[in-house]
Amino acid sequence: MRWARISIQLPSAAVEPAAALLLEIGCSGTEQPSDLNVVGYLPVDDRLEPALGRLNEALATFPALGLAQVRPQVAVTFVEDDNWEEAWKKHFGPVRVGRRLLVIPPWETPAPGEKRLIVRVNPGMAFGTGTHPSTQLCLAALEDAVRPGDCVVDLGTGSGILAIAAAKLGSGTVVAADIDRLALRVARQNLEDNGLLGKVLLVEADSPAAFTRVDVLVANILAHVIRAMAPSIPAALAPRGTFIGAGIAEGQEPEVIQSLTDAGLRVHRVMHQEAWVALVAFRDA
């Protein structure tokens, strides 16, 4: 069978969003040959050209979103191969995050005696594989923030990874919300793989305004989205509730901190990993 190998060169911070785009245009998995390169495959048929058009259109927005300086370059080559569908899996293995979590793809088995809490996520499906610094910062912040029985909302759940982690960390009610129905379908599958279907609520929502009395609200989206949401965050939180915001590229955090402070929240922790920042803020009693 003939496949188009679609290779995108771009800054490391943009690799995961680009991988999500490749999945959106129909690739069933992605490879990351290096920190600056992501690859997907599509069958060579009449759907290829429109799919590449959609990909190029979306990549053209990356500079405006702060994900790249210039429009990322796409190179397409053609391969005859029947085995690539399995080959990409070798790029994903277990990832230890924070002190207590282990993110693993569904085809891996945790080592015997593994003490960490297992978060199973299929990395071929949606943003939120556990490899992106923003996701890792949120996971580490959740480890510290979540208390047994807490009500946790993961706004912008993508693969569901943060909601799954919150449930494993002992939350009471967990809600996984996204504006994207495809993401919600992917999150459902990952919840099922973790035995959490029915325990974590899936909802379509685009704002903290959809929620009240939340103990921990986590949103790994983008700086400008968090800034726009900031005024509605305090009313969504319970007294002394915590907001964790991420998807913030280094340099963008002062403006996000300002918008959270203007909304009446107290930012008490600024976490950095590679070129990414996560903020932890409290609502006072």
Please give the single-letter amino acid code of residue 175.
V
In terms of CB distance, is 119 or 265 closer to ligand SAM? 119
How far is Cα 127 from Cα 144, in angstroms, rounded to an integer? 23
Told to check if 183 binds ligand SAM by CB under 6 A, we report yes
Told to check if 162 binds ligand SAM by CB under 6 A, we report yes
Provide φ and ψ at 98, rounded to 5°: 60, -155
CA of residue 168 relative to chain centroid, distance:
17
| Contact mark string toward ligand SAM, 232..251, x via CB under 6 A | ---------------x----
How far is Cα 233 from Cα 242, in angstroms, rounded to an integer? 10
3-state secondary structure of 152: strand
Please give the single-letter amino acid code of residue 262.
D
How far is Cα 172 from Cα 156, in angstroms, rounded to an integer? 19
| Contact mark string toward ligand SAM, 10..29, x via CB under 6 A | --------------------
Region from 46-54, 131-139, 189-197, 233-241 binding ligand SAM, contact rule CB under 6 A: 131-139
* Contact criterion met (CB below 8 Å) for 242 and 281: yes
Told to check if 203 binds ligand SAM by CB under 6 A, we report no
Q: Which residues face 215 on adjacent strands?
A: none
Told to check if 161 binds ligand SAM by CB under 6 A, we report yes
Told to check if 220 binds ligand SAM by CB under 6 A, we report yes
Please give the single-letter amino acid code of residue 132.
H
Q: Which of 30, 32, 131, 135 binds ligand SAM (CB under 6 A)?
A: 135
Told to check if 62 binds ligand SAM by CB under 6 A, we report no
Told to check if 158 binds ligand SAM by CB under 6 A, we report yes
Which spans of this chain sit near ligand SAM (rule: CB under 6 A)? 127-128, 132, 135, 138, 154-158, 161-162, 177-180, 183, 206, 220-221, 225, 247
